[in-house]
Amino acid sequence: MKKILSISALTLFISTRIAHAVCPVCTVAVGAGLGLAEYFGIDDSISGLWIGALIVSVSIWTINWLNRKNIKFKGRKILIFLAYYAIVVLPLYWKGKIGHPLNRLCGIDKLLFGIILGSALFAAGVIFHNYIRKRNNNVSYFKGQKIVFGIAPIVIASIILYFTC
């Protein structure tokens, strides 16, 4: 498992050199958070937060990369998001990580709950950063604002879930 996480982190680092969409540091931070959660045996709902954030980040990277290459087709944004969710969620389901009857929170699978919540929180953080920046003549209020606004909701939700689950 450690080798897989190391290879994943290396792949994320290399891909940050190729596509500069959401924020390479944000995506690496999300990947590192996921690796740490798995390593320390953190609850699946918290791991799911980081998985969901990573899916959103990589999806936005891909969309921006396609935009730069001027590759456009109908429904590409939705298809990209659906493809990445399928690539991640289906293998987790097939391996039994998603769907275990004793691994539930709020009536749904903990990992799936975390993926949904993490996706929503990370997307909200990115949208909020873009909104705040646009209101300030496309200038961030502080260095690292993009990183803080993207990752902070995931960190806060991780802490809350850690103490409540």
Q: Which helix (H) or strand (E) holds 47?
A: helix 44-68
Distance CA(86)–CA(104), nearest Å, equals: 21
Single pTM value for the model: 0.75
pLDDT digits (tens, 9 = 90+) for 12-49: 444 434 334 455 665 566 556 666 776 888 888 888 99
pLDDT of residue 35: 67
Query: Is residue 129 a contact partner of residue 146, using CB atoms and an 8 Å limit?
Result: yes
Which residues does the chain have with pLDDT short of 50?
1-21
